[in-house]
């Protein structure tokens, strides 16, 4: 009898301990970040509201943490400092490449056919054209972040395709502003003659009254390509329960508050998967950003 009692007591202790660990794991904050493609102060304010929406919808604590660069967002994801991220096409490919099992689960309605704007200071004399702009060779040119799809990867791809040269061969000086808003500011001020940026950021800055079109204008719109995406680590179910990835995906697809969607900015989110970004992976390998 005593022996049976001791076995039962031990079993209860072990079960109780296991239950505590599981409960403790499920109480861990679920953390996401976003590439800093715009002013980081603005992003912090907007994504804090997204975190609250996800907390309320998923029933777990969700926190947003800012990062200083595109590469920092990939590193945070790789190191499991964040479990979910709003990536660009290239940073998403890099993150999934670094974390086996990671998957793209959602994208903006606009993201399967995203575009880059080439902009120029009006002093250049360059004007809008339907094809790749002639006359930009030997000018000064700024990309956005080195890890940006719309601000570096695809613009470089189109430059190489049109001119048969690398950017450093084609332009008198090449820079990397760090984000799309800074690209606009540098070209508008005349610090660089030409630049490439995310068309969504251009549209937002126009609405905000930050574009002086007597100084800067769009001279070319690129063909479309796949871009931004929500990517999640494949091991989150182990901490937050079976089916958690599906719950996160559904929460994103169900997001319909215009204020929250303006954080991205997107009309709505639709389903995504890794195969959609094969063109980005291929392009990154072609121009040497990712190893084959």
Domain ranges of the chain: 8-112+226-286, 115-221
* Confidence check: pLDDT of 260 > 80: yes
DSSP state at residue 150: I
Yes or no: domain 8-112+226-286 corresponds to CATH 3.30.450.20: no
Q: Mean pLDDT, to the nearest integer, of 116-144?
A: 97
DSSP string, 256-290: --HHHHTTTT-S-EEE--GGGGHHHHHHHHHTTSS
**What does the pLDDT read at residue 5?**
38
Q: What are phi and psi of 30, to 5 degrees?
A: -90, 125
HSE of 212 in the Cβ direction (CA atoms, 13 Å)? Answer: 10
Q: Mean pLDDT, to the nearest integer, of 179-204?
A: 96
Answer whether 8-112+226-286 and 115-221 agree in fold: yes
**pLDDT tens string 41-72:** 677 788 999 999 999 999 999 999 999 999 99
**Which runs of consecutive H residues, i.e. helices, occur in the chain?**
2-26, 40-58, 70-78, 89-98, 154-163, 167-170, 180-189, 199-207, 237-240, 244-253, 258-261, 278-286
User: Which CATH architecture group holds 115-221?
Assistant: 3-Layer(aba) Sandwich (3.40)
Q: Report helix, strand or coil for 142.
A: strand
**pLDDT tens string 264-280:** 889 999 999 999 999 99
**pLDDT tens string 83-98:** 999 999 999 999 999 9
Q: How confident is the model at residue 14 (pLDDT cuts 50, 70, 90)?
A: very low
Q: Cα separation of 220 and 122, whole Å? A: 14
* Confidence check: pLDDT of 39 > 70: no
* pTM of the shown model: 0.79
Residue owning tokens 């956005």: 144
Q: How confident is the model at residue 233 (pLDDT cuts 50, 70, 90)?
A: very high
**What does the pLDDT read at residue 27?**
80
| Nearest of 88, 224, 211 to residue 146 by alpha carbon | 88
Q: How confident is the model at residue 12 (pLDDT cuts 50, 70, 90)?
A: very low
């Amino acid at each position: 009898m005593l022996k049976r009692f001791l076995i039962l007591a031990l079993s209860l202790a072990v079960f109780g301990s296991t239950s505590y660990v599981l409960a403790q794991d499920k109480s861990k904050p679920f953390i996401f970040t976003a590439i800093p493609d715009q002013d980081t102060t603005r992003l912090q304010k907007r994504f804090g509201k997204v975190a609250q929406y996800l907390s309320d919808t998923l029933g777990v604590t969700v926190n947003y943490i800012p990062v200083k660069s595109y590469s920092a967002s990939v590193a945070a994801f790789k190191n499991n400092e964040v479990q979910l991220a709003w990536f660009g096409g290239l940073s998403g490919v890099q993150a999934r490449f670094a974390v086996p099992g990671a998957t793209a689960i959602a994208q903006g309605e606009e993201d399967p056919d995203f575009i880059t704007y080439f902009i120029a200071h009006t002093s250049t004399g360059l004007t809008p054209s339907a094809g790749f702009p002639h006359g930009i060779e030997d000018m000064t040119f700024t990309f956005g972040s080195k890890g940006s799809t719309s601000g570096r990867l695809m613009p470089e791809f189109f430059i190489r395709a049109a001119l048969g040269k690398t950017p450093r061969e084609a332009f008198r000086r090449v820079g990397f502003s760090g984000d799309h808003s800074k690209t606009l500011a540098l070209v508008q001020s005349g610090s660089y003659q030409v630049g490439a940026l995310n068309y969504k950021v251009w549209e937002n800055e126009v609405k905000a009254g930050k574009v002086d079109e007597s100084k800067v204008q769009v001279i070319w719109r690129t063909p479309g390509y796949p871009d931004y995406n929500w990517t999640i680590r494949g091991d989150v179910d182990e901490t937050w329960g079976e089916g958690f990835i599906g719950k996160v995906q559904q929460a994103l697809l169900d997001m319909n508050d215009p204020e929250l969607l303006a954080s991205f900015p997107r009309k709505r989110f639709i389903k995504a998967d890794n195969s959609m970004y094969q063109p980005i992976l291929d392009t990154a390998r072609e121009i040497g950003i990712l190893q084959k």
